[in-house]
Amino acid sequence: MTSGIISADVSAEGGINMEERVVIVDDDALILKNANMTLSEAGFKVTCLKSGRLLMDYIVRNPIDILLLDIRMPEMDGFETISALRAWEKDNSRDPVPVIFLTANEDSDSEAKGLSLGALDFIRKPFSSEALKIRVRNLVDLIELQRDLHREVDRKTAQLESLSLHVVHTLAKTIDAKDAYTNGHSERVADYSREIARRYGYDEDRQEEIYMMGLLHDVGKIGVPDNVINKPGRLTDEEFDMIKTHPVKGAEILATVSEMPGLVTGARWHHERYDGRGYPDGLKGEDIPEEARIIAVADAYDAMTSHRSYRDIMPQDKVKSEIENGIGRQFDERFARIMLGMIEEDTEYKMHE
């Protein structure tokens, strides 16, 4: 034990090693020897260390399933060691190692402190071999049960997310199908919005949120008569008022989706203007939610680059000019500039319906 480490890889029944890797940290050589022997014979892969400092060196390169940690040790006691361990785990995005404290104390304050620092159990010293095996095995079984539960939750969550996205895509296509001239509009707006958000610096979760907002930004058109949406000529004031109801209708529909409250943002405010002359609420500048300002640019771009009953796809230079002219009036300059950058990169003008 001159190195401060004892390793054992002893297995029970047929010589097949158990997966559970137990590390024991104690400055008492006799405790290390007895615990090593007991747990190795029970089928665990055991590593023994004589100090908290050695543990901190060890975890950098070695996985641990369970840690048995003495409280009273020189240099770093058990409380200091678990605190250092938790800080390292947080800094390195590691899951917390389950910790059982080894203690000769009957001090309830020490137990309370250990639990507050993240220990799961205490084993009193001196311990019997049978008690040590049972306590460690029970903890292993509990951890495995928790892992199984997390895996099942993750699997079900992935299924629900996949189903939800499928439902949203289907709904978006249904909305677009109402308008003979905007096939695929919602998905393109969602794609453009996500790309603007990515370039602006949104993390992946927020990018996906704005993508979903973009997919459903026009959901309120479900409540607008088809003959108004598909009218080939100029709309009357009354008909335009009908069109202008779709943001509020959309927000009312999406307000019932409590799992994704942000969807309301894209639906209600994507027709607000930066100068305050938009609808339905006449919001201005920074009062307009950021996601809605992004969707507004993406929505306008797709409207200009899609076929209409009264015109073909607009030339790219004209689209660029319209967005430039809309900066500070219709659009937030930050997001309009990002859209302009995307246009500059689209040298073959592929970014259209």
- Give Cβ neighbours of residue 40 (< 8 Å, ≥ 6 apart): 8, 9, 10, 46
Strand-pairing partners, residue 311, are: 308
* Residues in contact with 18: Cβ distance below 8 Å, sequence separation at least 6, in sequence order: 11, 12, 43, 44, 45
- Helix or strand or coil: residue 69? strand
Q: Which residue has the higher pLDDT, 130 or 310?
A: 130
Most confident of 106-115, 138-147, 329-338: 329-338
CA separation, residue 54 to residues 57, 60, 71, 172, 223 (Å): 5, 11, 15, 58, 68
Buried b (16+ CB within 10 A) or exposed e, 27-55: bbeebbebbbebbbebbbbbbbbbbbbbb
For the chain, the domains span 5-150, 178-345
SS3 9: strand
pLDDT band at 47 (very low <50, low <70, confident <90, very high): very high
CATH classification code of 178-345: 1.10.3210.10
Count of helix runs (H) and strand runs (E) in the chain:
14, 6
pLDDT in tens, 59-105: 999 989 899 999 889 889 989 999 999 999 999 988 888 898 888 77
- Cβ pair 55, 85 in contact under 8 A: yes
Residue 143 has a pLDDT of 72
pLDDT for the residue 281:
96
Which tokens belong to 46? 């055991």
Token pair, residue 157, equals 């969550």
Q: How far is CA 148 from CA 141, 142, 144, 158, 306, in A?
A: 11, 10, 6, 15, 49
Contact assessment for residue 139 and residue 147, using Cβ atoms and an 8 Å cutoff: no
How far, in Å, are 44, 108, 110, 237 from residue 77 at the CA level? Answer: 25, 17, 12, 78
Residue 162 has pLDDT above 70, yes or no: no
**pLDDT by residue (tens digit) across 186-227?**
999 999 999 999 999 999 989 999 998 998 899 888 878 777
- In angstroms, the CA 286 to CA 296 distance is 14
> What is the token pair recorded at 314?
């607009």
Evaluate if residue 294 carries a pLDDT over 80: yes
Query: Residue 156's pLDDT band (boundaries 50, 70, 90)?
Result: low
Beta bridge partners of 93: none
What is the C-alpha to C-alpha distance for residues 208 and 163, in angstroms, rounded to an integer? Answer: 15
If one compares 45 and 138, the residue with the highest pLDDT of the two is: 45
Q: Does residue 34 carry a pLDDT above 80?
A: yes
**pLDDT tens for residues 163-177?**
466 667 777 777 777
Mean pLDDT of all residues in 316-325: 97
Amino acid 265: pLDDT: 95
- The reply to whether 178-345 shares the fold of 5-150 is no
Average of per-residue pLDDT values in the chain: 84
DSSP string, 39-66: HHHTT-EEEEESSHHHHHHHTTT---SE
66-70 vs 21-25, strand pairing mode: parallel
**If one looks up domain 5-150 in CATH, what number appears?**
3.40.50.2300
The confidence score (pLDDT) of residue 19 equals 66
Binned at pLDDT 50, 70 and 90, residue 10 comes out as: very low
> Regarding predicted confidence, which is higher, 241 or 300?
300
Which candidate, 79, 67, 69, 82, places its Cα nearest to that of 21?
67
Q: Specify the pLDDT at position 262.
A: 85
What is the mean pLDDT of the segment spanning 315-330? Answer: 97
Query: Would you state the pLDDT for residue 4?
Result: 54
